[in-house]
Structure 1
């Protein structure tokens, strides 16, 4: 969905990674969890923090900071896991995303959202739906379905399936 397709006021969950504020459509958010123990999985990409047990289900957890080329998420009392539902090849998948902190749920009108800046053809920015403006602050609105490439999500999905098989044995 592009900015031009946003024609009504929507609610977004805002969260921080470093000093930057990001947002995702609340319709994609399942829940926000306090940081719980994450089980690391060997031989996974750096951005893959591991998996958590969410009421009996294995949920992969990714470090968004690493995905965005930032430093690894440092654990603080505000660190949390934003559990989102993403779509890969028309199949729904639940993923946890580490965030430095969750801010609030905000309403943004279409006129408060500008298209994502064009950075050039070599830098991937298709996962930024737009730039929300609130007071003097910019908020990067993520298209959470596009934050990871299809290959990355397929890798996470395959690891999730492997972990479920191991736990079932």
Structure 2
């Protein structure tokens, strides 16, 4: 299984590459009046207008002082959604055996598990469940 690993503040998260359409650097955001707080605005990606969501709010993580430089475009069902992250670290091929299941002991159903690398821990999220919430 391939995953995209990205950083928010000092934490690393992973999503399946099958959900990732593309990764982009800084984009121009058009604010939407009266939009929910988690909607940062709209972006134009090669002629396609996409909603940009604040993943920090969805994951309940403080924003870092640095501006978020990368945007991950996700394909969820038939819709494109963008989330801004501090940085995209890498794309990795991982063995599903290294994902530790945390479903029983969490009240956050969007967490699929923890990827335990020897030098770091990465939270593996189910982006469909996160966005649906």
TM-score by length of 2: 0.91
Aligned residues: 132
Contact 1:15 1:103 in 2 (8 A): yes
> Equivalents in 1 of 2:75, 2:69: separation in Å?
20
Instruction: Find the counterpart in structure 1 of residue 5 from structure 2.
Output: 14
Superposition pairs of residues 9-158 of structure 1, within 5 angstroms: 10-72=1-63, 76=67, 79-87=69-77, 92-116=78-102, 118-119=105-106, 123=107, 125-149=108-132
Which deviates the most, 67-76 or 137-146?
Answer: 67-76
User: Deviations along 1:73-116, whole A, 9 cap, x unmatched?
Assistant: 6553x6110001113xxxx2100100000000112112210112
- In structure 2, do the counterparts of structure 1 residues 44 and 73 end up closer, same or farther at CA, with 3 Å as the change threshold? farther
- In structure 2, do the counterparts of structure 1 residues 142 and 105 end up closer, same or farther at CA, with 3 Å as the change threshold? same
> Equivalents in 2 of 1:74, 1:39: separation in Å?
21
Give unmatched runs, 5+ long, in structure 1.
1-9, 151-169
Q: Which has the higher helix share?
A: 1
Give unmatched runs, 5+ long, in structure 2.
none
1:147 is paired with a residue whose SS is helix
Q: Which has the higher strand share?
A: 2
> Equivalents in 2 of 1:130, 1:84: separation in Å?
20
Structure label with greater radius of gyration: 1
> Equivalents in 2 of 1:49, 1:74: separation in Å?
17
TM-score by length of 1: 0.72
> Equivalents in 2 of 1:149, 1:32: separation in Å?
21
